[in-house]
Amino acid sequence: SSKQTSISSFFKKE
Amino acid sequence: MFEARLGQATILKKILDAIKDLLNEATFDCSDSGIQLQAMDNSHVSLVSLTLRSDGFDKFRCDRNLSMGMNLGSMAKILKCANNEDNVTMKAQDNADTVTIMFESANQEKVSDYEMKLMNLDQEHLGIPETDFSCVVRMPAMEFARICRDLAQFSESVVICCTKEGVKFSASGDVGTANIKLAQTGSVDKEEEAVIIEMQEPVTLTFACRYLNAFTKATPLSTQVQLSMCADVPLVVEYAIKDLGHIRYYLAPKIED
């Protein structure tokens, strides 16, 4: 099975 | 003072349709270069980035940078009141807590205006790094919408596998397995019917169907869609908005548990 990752883990907060 | 005018309300309706399933509210950042919107969906799996250039508007004036937080459901109610061919003008004073949206019929005989309350949205702004994508696929937007709709019947996830031969979309579930392969088109009469693949190296990624299907709500904006992929980074699904800008959706991949 696969797990959904979060978009905020790829992009840094500005 | 902020004022932006578009020749046809239909464009704004289509833009709103393309984002309102993912976002309940969003901040429209206005500057003299145009209007920008960046927002994550509620579950923080995808991110919507909209760019409308000032030179794409019939009239555009923005004296001071302005962030307008809008409830998109309210905006949809207002846009429902416009005819597709109406001119649409958005206006706000500096530091205003409302925005006025005005529709004018082509013959100027009907003018309506709607004042909408703005919201203070505390939205995180994310920096999106430049990525050298392994594969960039351009294909007809209608075809992509069809594939996403068809495969969603079979699984919650779709696997996109891109090689130099073509791009394969697969879904596997209780019913069985579905595979849709698209080869790069040789020669086509119409540019909008082309499937074009630029590949540095092959890539296989898994994504949630429901988000891909939400992105395809942008299909009426563009004849072509561009998918940019790289291992272990978000997929970028981009629809150009002719002469005005683009809408980009970023979708976090699913990874093996």
Query: Cα dihedral sign for B201, B202, B204, B207?
Result: positive
pLDDT classification of B207: cutoffs 50, 70, 90: very high
| DSSP structure string for B59-96 | EEEESS-EEEEEEHHHHHHHHHTS-TTSEEEEEE-TT-
pLDDT tens, residue by residue, B92-112: 998 889 999 999 998 889 999
Q: What does the radius of gyration of chain B's CA atoms come to, in whole angstroms?
A: 20
pLDDT at site B145: 98
- Which residue type sits at B243? D
Shortest alpha-carbon distance between residue A9 and chain B (Å): 9
Pairing of strands B203-208, B157-162: antiparallel
Distances (CA, A) of B115 to B12, B147, B204: 16, 40, 48
Distances (CA, A) of B109 to B78, B112, B114, B242: 19, 10, 17, 28
pLDDT classification of A13: cutoffs 50, 70, 90: confident
Of B125, B128, B254, the CB nearest to A2: B254
pLDDT at site B124: 77
Say whether residue B256 is in contact with chain A using an 8 A CB cutoff: yes
Q: What does the radius of gyration of chain A's CA atoms come to, in whole angstroms?
A: 10
Q: In A, residues 1-14, which contact B (CB 8 Å cutoff)?
A: 1-14
Of B126, B157, B256, the CB nearest to A11: B126
pLDDT tens, residue by residue, B151-182: 999 999 999 999 988 999 999 999 999 999 99
Shortest alpha-carbon distance between residue A3 and chain B (Å): 5
Say whether residue B122 is in contact with chain A using an 8 A CB cutoff: no
pLDDT at site B16: 97
Say whether residue B159 is in contact with chain A using an 8 A CB cutoff: no
pLDDT tens, residue by residue, B113-125: 999 999 999 777 8
Contacts of A6 in chain B (CB under 8 A): 44-45, 252
For the segment B201-221, the average pLDDT, to the nearest whole number, is 98
pLDDT tens, residue by residue, B46-56: 999 999 999 99
pLDDT tens, residue by residue, B8-54: 999 999 999 999 999 999 999 999 999 999 999 999 999 999 999 99
pLDDT tens, residue by residue, B125-145: 899 999 999 999 999 999 999
pLDDT for B187 beyond 80: no
